[in-house]
Amino acid sequence: MHRYSQVTIAIHWLTAVLVIVAWFTAVSGPDARTDPSYVHFTVGLAVLLLVVPRLLARWAAAPRVEDPQRRWLDLAARAGHAVLYLLLVALPLTGWYAASRLGVPVSFLGISLPSLAAPVQGAPGEIADLHETGGTLILWLAGLHALIAIWHQFALKDRTLERMNPLAPSDLTQDG
Ligand code: HEM
Ligand code: HEM
């Protein structure tokens, strides 16, 4: 049984809060052009900034000890986590692209970022649509992910929640 490092745990929970704030501050339609939410841009780009060290820490970590009794569950968890990571990278990038297409300047903590695409007059296009759909999908997936983690903890009693708990007893092996 392993647990995550305190840095990974901190990034996990901070990312969860940032994603929720990004969802609540998102605007669409004409408002996205005339009254864009800079809080949305900032928290969304912070998600992108945080996912990089998190993935590096994950790859540098010792391999996870798998439970041979529940190999399919382990594979399902890996697939689910991969989709979440994909969205954590793709959402900020597609959002940045959507803002560029809408002609809205993007900055992060006062630093102006370059446009990812030339501005257009009408709708910002399919990648912007994907951003909107993905932005809602990540919340549903994260909710499902949380329910599965709770099921692991209380039904399978395999201490899954403790892996992500910064205050859990430290008798677990640390590996990521
Ligand atoms: C937007 C919200 C969230 C996102 C994007 C997210 C994302 C992730 C990702 C990508 C992992 C895989 C970590 C790795 O192995 O590299 C993970 C693990 C985990 N998450 Fe979340 N999570 C969110 C919310 C939550 C919530 C609300 C809970 C609480 C029930 C939770 C509990 C856990 C646990 C216990 C693990 C460890 C699972 C394991 O080791 O098998 N997460 N999360
Ligand atoms: C985890 C990060 C993010 C999440 C969860 C997220 C979520 C969303 C959601 C749900 C919408 C649709 C709102 C609605 O239809 O009412 C949206 C729209 C939008 N977001 Fe994000 N977003 C994220 C990051 C970003 C970033 C980093 C940027 C820009 C730098 C951005 C720019 C935009 C723009 C311009 C729109 C309007 C698109 C349009 O009208 O077609 N987003 N976002």
Nearest protein CA to atom 14 of ligand 2, as residue: 28
What is the structure's pLDDT at 111?
A: 96
Write out pLDDT tens, residues 164-176: 999 877 666 665 5
103-152 per-position pLDDT tens digit: 999 999 999 999 999 999 999 999 999 999 999 999 999 999 999 999 99
Q: Is the dihedral of CA 147, 152, 157, 159 positive or negative?
A: negative
Give the pairing of strands 111-113 and 106-108: antiparallel
**pLDDT, tens digit, for every residue of 49-63?**
999 999 988 888 765
pLDDT of residue 63: 56
Record the pTM.
0.94
Q: Tokens in use for 117?
A: 């695409």
CATH of domain 2-174: 1.20.950
What pLDDT score does 79 carry? 95
Distance 146 CA to ligand 1 centre (A): 7
165 lines ligand 2 (CB under 6 A): no
Q: What are phi and psi of 106, to 5 degrees?
A: -115, 130
Confidence at residue 29, expressed as pLDDT on a 0 to 100 scale:
85
Q: Tell me how far apart the alpha carbons of residues 91 and 95 are, in angstroms, rounded to a whole number.
A: 6
In the chain, which ranges are E strands? 2-3, 106-108, 111-113, 173-174
How would residue 26 be classed by pLDDT, with cut points 50, 70 and 90? very high
